Amino acid sequence: MYTQAMDTQGREPEDRNVRSLEEAHLQQRFDATIDDGGFIEAKDWMPQNYRRTLIRQISQHAHSEIVGMLPEGNWISRAPTLKRKAILLAKVQDEGGHGLYLYAAAETLGTSRDELLAALHSGKAKYSSIFNYPTLTWADVGVIGWLVDGAAIMNQVPICRCSYAPYARAMIRICREESFHQRQGFDSLLVMMEKGTDAQRAMVQDAVDRWWWPCLMMFGPPDDQSPNSAQGMRWGIKRVSNDELRQKFVDATVEQAKVLGVTLPDPGLKWNEARGHWDFGAIDWDEFWNVVNGNGPCNRERLAARVKAWDEGAWVREAALAHAAKQREREPQAA
Ligand SMILES: [Fe+2]
Ligand SMILES: [Fe+2]
């Protein structure tokens, strides 16, 4: 699914890596490429802080995809029909694939997957705060598709033009799949709202009430409290600001909510003719930081599930390595 303005960990130190005349030229060339809206490839020279920022952002994004499999995976065995089960299985598998593309993109920057995963498992690396909320009913699965994948698409479409080409290429593939995710969620909710019972409609509304505000938080802190945003924009990593993306999401979602027949839980939602946008109420940023810092409803459970999967998968990794070694041994004989 998901990046958010995930770039929520402190400022980078000043970049002091320009040491020689040659490096000054390389820096100039890099700046010119960025200014022209060009792309940087893995083998191109890049400033250390650009590299570090990308490793952090891409790995946080990869972790979000992988951890994002957990809340929905929880419902695979309890999906109400075979059709919904097949769709959900495919979606959760897609998210795993997104994680793998993104780990591969991060590895092109000179880091290893083991290092990235160790940072996740130790709690040092972040992932999107949205996955620290529980999925209490089947309607939550639909709402995750509609709102969480919907917010992820808003965030991710601009990253298809990110200046770091391997990240941009991964995002193009990912965004195609995300739009299916969003539509299947909306479709599942529409069926419950149009053909369901009163209890099912109430269940959908309850899920919308619980997920709406955390979804708005997915776009990250307001622009004036987002320390890394300006540099990210300068480098062409970030193309649209957190507040602009959040507004676009609200504007699009209000209309979709009308079609569904659900109420968004914000008495402050009001069309503003002068701005040409929907106004909305204040976001509880204390809640956001609380969840980012490890104290959301499911942080411990999510991390424990990932660590357990890693530990219990050790034999698979060992077997795969042993198999690869055997293949290599046999190759010269075959030749
Ligand atoms: Fe995804
Ligand atoms: Fe998704």
Cα(181) to centroid(ligand 2), Å: 5
pLDDT value at position 333?
Answer: 65
pLDDT level of residue 331 (50, 70, 90 thresholds):
confident
Average pLDDT over residues 32-53: 95
Cα(151) to centroid(ligand 1), Å: 11
Cα(155) to centroid(ligand 2), Å: 12
Cα(42) to centroid(ligand 1), Å: 23
98-146 tens-digit pLDDT? 999 999 999 999 999 999 999 999 999 999 999 999 999 999 999 999 9
In this structure, which ligand is nearest to the CA of 67? 1
In this structure, which ligand is nearest to the CA of 181? 2
State the DSSP H helix or E strand holding residue 114, giving kind and residue range, or none if neither: helix 113-121
Q: In this structure, is the dihedral angle defined by the CA atoms of residues 307, 75, 63 and 127, taken in order, positive or negative?
A: negative
* CB contact at 8 A, 212 and 264: yes
Cα(94) to centroid(ligand 1), Å: 7
Cα(153) to centroid(ligand 2), Å: 8
In this structure, which ligand is nearest to the CA of 97? 1
Q: Determine the longest span between alpha carbons in the chain, in angstroms.
A: 76
Cα(25) to centroid(ligand 1), Å: 38
Cα(274) to centroid(ligand 1), Å: 36
CB atoms within 10 A of CB 118: 13
In the predicted structure, residue 281 carries a pLDDT above the cut 70 = yes
Cα(185) to centroid(ligand 2), Å: 10
From its phi and psi, is residue 25 left (phi > 0), alpha (psi between -120 and 50) or beta?
alpha
In this structure, which ligand is nearest to the CA of 151? 2
Cα(67) to centroid(ligand 2), Å: 12
In the predicted structure, residue 13 carries a pLDDT above the cut 60 = no
In this structure, which ligand is nearest to the CA of 184? 2
* CB contact at 8 A, 53 and 7: yes
pLDDT value at position 56?
Answer: 95
In the predicted structure, residue 12 carries a pLDDT above the cut 60 = no
**85 CB contacts (<8 Å, ≥6 apart)?**
76, 79
In the predicted structure, residue 6 carries a pLDDT above the cut 90 = no
pLDDT value at position 83?
Answer: 97
* CB contact at 8 A, 249 and 182: no
Q: Supply the mean pLDDT for the chain.
A: 93
Cα(157) to centroid(ligand 1), Å: 12
In the predicted structure, residue 10 carries a pLDDT above the cut 90 = no
In this structure, which ligand is nearest to the CA of 98? 1
pLDDT level of residue 230 (50, 70, 90 thresholds):
confident
* CB contact at 8 A, 168 and 43: no
Cα(116) to centroid(ligand 2), Å: 21
In this structure, which ligand is nearest to the CA of 144? 2
Cα(143) to centroid(ligand 2), Å: 12
pLDDT level of residue 227 (50, 70, 90 thresholds):
confident
pTM of the model: 0.91
pLDDT value at position 229?
Answer: 83
Cα(138) to centroid(ligand 2), Å: 17
Q: For residue 251, which of 148, 150, 174, 176 has the smallest C-alpha distance?
A: 150
pLDDT value at position 105?
Answer: 97
Average pLDDT over residues 255-271: 97
Share of the chain above pLDDT 70, in %: 94
Cα(236) to centroid(ligand 1), Å: 22
pLDDT value at position 263?
Answer: 98
Cα(277) to centroid(ligand 1), Å: 28
CB atoms within 10 A of CB 166: 22
Average pLDDT over residues 191-202: 98
